[in-house]
Amino acid sequence: MIERGEFVRLYGGVFEHSPWIAERAYDHGRIAAPLMADALHEALCAEFRAASREERLGVLRAHPDLAGKLAIDGELTAESTAEQAGAGLDRLSADEHARFTELNERYMHDLGFPFIIAVKGLGKDDILKAFEARVANDVNTEFATACAQVERIAGLRIAALLPQESA
């Protein structure tokens, strides 16, 4: 079995800047050898879902704005940088960047956390369309949607690190 510190080092960043999720999953006995992507994802998601609303809100707030200041300043995590670049968010025109900035500010002001979407497989136009649709949601609807997206992002990150379970 993998040692706790090594486990947290390897998987503590799966949920953005929230190693406590990996720590709790390990401490609660949810981690079993051999580590497989689906089982690990479920274990970490179970801890995320069991967390208080305030803790989950902290996870949401740990995510960067899409195409925001951290991206421009090169201060995203390696995972977020790759994910945003893969969706073309590092190559926005001035007008596109202005629209993302406007939506980021409105979303954060109205909802209290950044817009979160699993960008893998999406292009900037797909993301912008989803952003424009979701910015009008009420806080509870969007909180649930953002949490589901965080879990999806975690699953994609885990799948890049571990083998999938075979059928």
**Which domains does the chain possess?**
58-153 (1.10.3330.10)
Give the pLDDT of residue 87. Answer: 77
Q: Which of the two residues, 167 and 142, has the higher pLDDT score?
A: 142
Q: What is the mean pLDDT of the chain?
A: 90
Say how many C-beta atoms besides its own lie within 10 A of residue 12's C-beta: 18
Closest CA to 10 of 156, 163, 157, 165: 157
* Percent of all residues in the chain with a pLDDT value above 90, rounded to a whole number: 71
Q: Which of the two residues, 69 and 163, has the higher pLDDT score?
A: 163
63 part of the active site: yes
* Percent of all residues in the chain with a pLDDT value above 70, rounded to a whole number: 90
CA distance linking residue 115 with residue 36, whole number of Å: 29
Q: Which of the two residues, 66 and 138, has the higher pLDDT score?
A: 138
Give the pLDDT of residue 70. Answer: 47
The catalytic residue among 17, 28, 41, 63 is 63
Task: With beta carbons less than 8 A apart as the criterion, state whether 38 and 165 touch.
Answer: yes
pLDDT digits (tens, 9 = 90+) for 46-83: 999 999 999 999 999 998 877 665 455 565 567 766 77
Give the pLDDT of residue 88. Answer: 82
Omega within 30 of 0 (cis) for the link into 34: yes
pLDDT digits (tens, 9 = 90+) for 97-130: 899 999 999 999 999 999 999 988 998 999 999 9
Give the pLDDT of residue 89. Answer: 78
pLDDT digits (tens, 9 = 90+) for 88-98: 878 888 898 89
Give the pLDDT of residue 9. Answer: 96
Q: Is the overall model pTM greater than 0.95, yes or no?
A: no
Residue with tokens 């051999």: 34
Give the pLDDT of residue 75. Answer: 59
